[in-house]
Structure 1
Amino acid sequence: MGRNIFNQPPKNADQPAAPSPAPVKSTKLPGSVGGLRDSLREITANSIRDIEPDRIDMDGLRDRLILEDESIDELAESILKHGQQVPIMVRPSDQPDRYRIVYGRRRLAAIRKTGGTVKAIVRTLDDDASLIAQGQENNLRLDPSFIEKSLFIKEMQEAGYKPGVIQDALGLTRQGVSNHRVVIEQLPEELVRLIGPAHGVGRRQWSNLATLSSKVPVFDIARETLNGLPEATSSADKFQAVYAACSSKTRRASNMSGGRKTTAVKDESGRPVGHLSVDGKSIAIKIIRKDNPEFGNWLEERAESTLRQLFEQWQDERGSGS
């Protein structure tokens, strides 16, 4: 019965017999094996591997201002004690048996200090996907400071990444990206790297410092200020010290050259004659007609000639002769 079911003769004797199973199997096998091989490669590509740290290149855009600092030593000590709890992510390099870091730069730096292999997820990603993975993972694990995000945005834009990719990488809206970019474009990059990440210092404070940068040499002031601080001063405290020094310098400069001083000029009897206003850019004589209308009319007729006479008198007193 079973044989009759599986070995039915052709219904039409003139019709050629159906192909035997063997050729069908032989034609489909390579494709099936190839698909299985691809699946295994994908599983392997997404698995966690132990990789020698010197086979991983620290390329790509940096999203941290400080990498080699005491926090790396603390992380290395924790890994020695508890092991590496969270894998990093890498992607294959163009060079054989080498990888490029996607995220986990601090963990990789710590393991390079402790020795041994690093646990890594290997993913085949293009540049856009790699950047998005880097930004999102860092936002989840240790939120970058405002100024670190600003520098990261600047580097992404200079590298030619599209606005949508930048927004996805940091989880920001278009306006949020713009807010960061406006600040970083006004500040010298050397100043930012001198201060550091300044966690806890937000957009408003950095914006205020950016405004001061158009009035005083903020980098020179920062360098002088930070040279006088203890070595262990935190980055946030460095920012506050620099901001205070720049604000003070701006006020002094304003008082010396930009502050307007107005003096009321009166005659011997105390009646108002006019007002003299002086600042760093101009000297102005103001006559209020309602206080002394006749004098105002008289001065209006003679203002140009009087000003020329005063100028000639000044030249004579300087001894210029012309």
Structure 2
Amino acid sequence: MARKNLIGISSSDQVPTTPTDVRPIAGFVPPKVRSAPIGGITRTLGNITQKVERAQDIEKQLAEGKLIVDLDPALVDASFISDRLGMDPTDLDDLVEQIREHGQQVPILVRPHPTIDGRYQVAYGHRRLVAVRQLGFKVKAVIRELSDDQLVVSQGQENNARTNLSYIERALFASRLEDRSFERDVIMAALNVDKAALSKMLSVVRQIPIELIEAIGAAPQIGRRRWMELAEKLPIAQAELKRILASLSADNSSDQRFQDAFDALTPARPIKDTPKSKSWEPEDGSVSVTVKASAKKAVVTYEAKDGPSFATYIAQRLDDLYEAFRKSEKTSTGV
């Protein structure tokens, strides 16, 4: 007789081995198994990671010039290449009022100063920088790593886009770049001009003394042709240059000073010798005589019915007439 299973478990019955195999107690849900521990350390590490990634992202965007930041204007220096012959006070006042009312709408472009830690150098936006300094505002800026070539190209192209530099200012900018040994390709890119136009710019600046250009100023209404015409009138003696410089009034606009300098370099035209005319005719009107005389020439015209015959009569008596003329001269002069 087979032995009975004393504990009542058949070979087909299995003891549950996992919580899911056990019928849960009413109202109790077993906790989920976690793959990793949580707690203060995990949260702290996560926060640190996020901050590092955020800092790296900000640093990357700053390097790429994608972020606009507020800078203390006192930490921002001008470009190492000047592109202006001073700032028009009226235009600057208008810009100050515009920023006062509406804020700085367009940021300036700067780079970290190449030789001074903690300072910056402007690529473009010099007028905006001066305006916010006057207002005591922070200056909105984009910071970008720029080589010298990249800076001057950015500076020149921004000025070209905003069309606020005169012809002679652009020509001076080109000359200063060449004096610093920048390649012609870089200068042409900065000014957006071809080789021929650049050569003309440099020629104008080389022919006109820099002190005369600075005394005239930006002259925004004076273009390439007029500056080339002025250059053709030079060189002149140093004494003459000093006389012209002294005659240019700071009270006049720069356009007027250009015209004054141009006129001073233009030789006075000789007064045209306009012949004086005198007419004579007898009472019967048979002859009409007109004399047109200038300093070196006289033309006598005989007209009317007896004009030709009267002219012949006079021609036949020229010796007697001339002798009478000489006697009258001696009488009048007493010689």
What TM-score range do you get, normalising by the shorter chain?
0.5 to 0.7
In the TM superposition, residue 208 of structure 1 has moved relative to its aligned partner by 1.4
- Alpha-carbon displacement from aligned partner over 1:64-105 (angstroms, at most 9, x marks no partner): 111373322221122111111111110011333211111001
Matching residue within 71, 78, 97 for 1:77:
97
User: 2:52 and 2:104 mapped to 1: Cα distance?
Assistant: 35
Cα pair 2:208 2:235 within 8 Å, conserved: no
Q: Match for residue 66 of structure 1?
A: 86
User: 1:129 and 1:42 mapped to 2: Cα distance?
Assistant: 19
In the TM superposition, residue 209 of structure 1 has moved relative to its aligned partner by 1.1
Q: Which amino acid aligns with 2:117?
A: P
Instruction: Name the count of aligned residue pairs.
Output: 217
Q: Are residues 1:226 and 2:248 paired?
A: yes
Q: Are residues 1:115 and 2:133 paired?
A: no
User: Per the alignment, in what secondary structure is the counterpart of residue 248 of structure 2?
Assistant: helix
Q: Are residues 1:208 and 2:229 paired?
A: yes
In the TM superposition, residue 39 of structure 1 has moved relative to its aligned partner by 4.7
User: 1:51 and 1:40 mapped to 2: Cα distance?
Assistant: 16
User: 1:75 and 1:175 mapped to 2: Cα distance?
Assistant: 35
In the TM superposition, residue 219 of structure 1 has moved relative to its aligned partner by 3.2
Cα pair 1:55 1:97 within 8 Å, conserved: yes
User: 1:226 and 1:62 mapped to 2: Cα distance?
Assistant: 24
User: 1:39 and 1:123 mapped to 2: Cα distance?
Assistant: 15
In the TM superposition, residue 63 of structure 1 has moved relative to its aligned partner by 0.8
Q: Are residues 1:155 and 2:176 paired?
A: yes
Cα pair 2:109 2:143 within 8 Å, conserved: yes
User: 1:184 and 1:35 mapped to 2: Cα distance?
Assistant: 52
Distance 1:245 1:76, change over 3 A: same
Cα pair 2:62 2:144 within 8 Å, conserved: no
The TM-score with structure 1 as length reference comes to: 0.62
Cα pair 2:70 2:138 within 8 Å, conserved: yes
Q: Match for residue 87 of structure 1?
A: 107
User: 1:100 and 1:65 mapped to 2: Cα distance?
Assistant: 19
Q: Match for residue 282 of structure 2?
A: none
Cα pair 1:198 1:239 within 8 Å, conserved: yes
User: 1:36 and 1:81 mapped to 2: Cα distance?
Assistant: 34
Matching residue within 61, 67, 73 for 1:53:
73
Distance 1:220 1:78, change over 3 A: same
For structure 2, list consecutive stretches of 5 or more residues without a partner in the other structure.
1-50, 271-295, 297-335
User: 1:168 and 1:35 mapped to 2: Cα distance?
Assistant: 37
Q: Are residues 1:44 and 2:39 paired?
A: no
User: 1:69 and 1:133 mapped to 2: Cα distance?
Assistant: 25
In the TM superposition, residue 37 of structure 1 has moved relative to its aligned partner by 6.2
Compute the RMSD of aligned alpha carbons: 2.4
Distance 1:35 1:165, change over 3 A: farther
Q: Match for residue 141 of structure 1?
A: 162
User: 1:169 and 1:214 mapped to 2: Cα distance?
Assistant: 29
User: 2:243 and 2:173 mapped to 1: Cα distance?
Assistant: 25
- Structure 1 ranges of 4+ moved more than 2 A: 33-40, 67-71, 94-97, 214-222
Distance 1:248 1:77, change over 3 A: farther
In the TM superposition, residue 137 of structure 1 has moved relative to its aligned partner by 0.5
Percent identity reads: 35
The TM-score with structure 2 as length reference comes to: 0.60
User: 2:54 and 2:132 mapped to 1: Cα distance?
Assistant: 35
In the TM superposition, residue 36 of structure 1 has moved relative to its aligned partner by 8.2
User: 2:246 and 2:267 mapped to 1: Cα distance?
Assistant: 14
- Alpha-carbon displacement from aligned partner over 1:207-233 (angstroms, at most 9, x marks no partner): 111121224656324323213x7x1x2
User: Per the alignment, in what secondary structure is the counterpart of residue 148 of structure 1?
Assistant: helix
User: Per the alignment, in what secondary structure is the counterpart of residue 69 of structure 2?
Assistant: strand
For structure 1, list consecutive stretches of 5 or more residues without a partner in the other structure.
1-32, 253-263, 265-322
Q: Are residues 1:183 and 2:204 paired?
A: yes
Could you tell which deviates more after superposition, 125-134 or 139-148? 139-148
User: Per the alignment, in what secondary structure is the counterpart of residue 65 of structure 1?
Assistant: coil
Q: Match for residue 244 of structure 1?
A: 263
